[in-house]
Amino acid sequence: MKKSMVIVLFLLLIPRPTVEAKPILELYDKYMAEISRLDGDGLLVRRNKALSWASIAGQLRVELDKAQTPEEIGRIFARVDAAYPNLHAHINLSPKYDYRGKTRVGLPISVYPEEIKEDGSIPTFRIGGARKEFFSTDLRPKSGDVLLSINGRTIQEWAKENIEFCKYPLASQCHIEFFRNFKMELLSWNRSQKLSIDVLRKGETLSFSVPITLDEVSKAPHDNTQTCRVENERYLNFQLAYEGRNLCAYESKNHPAVAVLR
């Protein structure tokens, strides 16, 4: 009896391995906390949207935990950028994490909202046109077809997701950006997936497989001449806290309640 008790006690004393957060998750948490610290008021723009910033952050964190490659990680941070409602901020991905690399998704169809209403209601989306050389038969999407679904998911569901991953505050603005955001792989579809659509034409539902092309683009070298500079003679003891797109934010330990923006 004593022997068994000693064994049990010994097992209890063995230190158990602790589950540590992945470094990328720690970076993500710090990054999201910094967004809230520096621009918490800016996040109020999301009040017109169905999901809160905390909900979006949690959803993307789950996706990040499942990411297997640098490109997948980069795409998630691009989705963070799309959901963050500040036109002055923009995430620039390094080549290692740039999920698009030197190519952009090309689709032989175009999609447009038929009518944008001020109340932000989801409009009817129609096919603007289809390049016949990409379809094997004459039966192909045609201008004016009503887009019903993409990959079996209704266009209404896609439009709702697009509102969440759109920098503009109004749903009506985001509807205009739908096709662009879809092609930029900012929604839950990306180039690794196949693409199919269902359309309505004269009362008949038709299904099409849409081929995907990857078009090479040339990137202009980044202009470093406009980076934020620390100008101590103008802003005494203020240090650069954030460098965004067309925005420099400076803070000082001597004036914790003050931020200089330019």
**Quick check: is 15 in a domain?**
no
The answer on 206 and 152 residing in a single domain is yes
pLDDT band for position 56 (50/70/90)?
A: very high
Same domain (yes/no): 92, 145: no
Counting every residue written for the chain, the total comes to 262
- DSSP for residue 8: H
pLDDT value, residue 247: 76
Residue 201 within any structural domain of the chain? yes
Residue 13 lies in a domain: no
With respect to residue 9, please indicate whether it lies within any of the assigned structural domains: no
Out of 65, 99, 133, a domain closes at 99
Q: DSSP secondary structure string, 233-253? A: TTSTT-EEEEEETTEEEEEET
Closest to 79 in 3D by CA, of 149, 184, 212, 174: 184
Same domain for 194 and 125: yes
E strand residue ranges, 9-166: 103-106, 109-113, 125-130, 146-150, 153-154
Whether residues 201 and 111 share a domain: the answer is: yes
94 is a domain residue: yes
Domain identity same for 250 and 182 = no
Q: Quick one: pLDDT band at residue 172, thresholds 50, 70, 90? A: very high
| 173 and 246 belong to one structural domain | no
Answer with the one of 99, 131, 161 that is the final residue of a domain: 99
Cβ neighbourhood burial of 19 (10 Å; 0-12, 13-18, 19+): exposed
Supply the pLDDT for residue 173: 93
Question: Token match 């710090």: residue?
Answer: 30
Q: Radius of gyration (Cα) for the chain, nearest Å?
A: 24
Dihedral of the alpha carbons of 214, 217, 221, 225, in degrees to the nearest 10:
-90
Q: Tokens for 79?
A: 């989705």
Number of folded domains that form the chain: 3
* Domain coverage including residue 257: 230-261
In this structure, are 85 and 122 located in the same domain? no
CATH of the domain at 191: 2.30.42.10
Shared domain check, 181 and 89: no
| Token reading at 133 | 């050389």
Residues 75, 145 share a domain: no
Residue 242 scores a pLDDT above 90? no
Q: Any idea which residue has 């400076």 for tokens? A: 250
Distance between CA atoms of 111 and 130, rounded to whole angstroms? 10
Per-residue pLDDT tens for 105-144? Answer: 999 999 999 999 989 999 999 999 999 999 987 789 999 9
- Whether residue 212 is found in the same domain as residue 111: yes
| DSSP 3-state of 191 | coil
> Does the pLDDT of residue 31 top 80, yes or no?
yes
Q: Does residue 174 contact residue 168 with C-beta atoms inside 8 Å?
A: yes
Pair (24, 124) in one structural domain: no
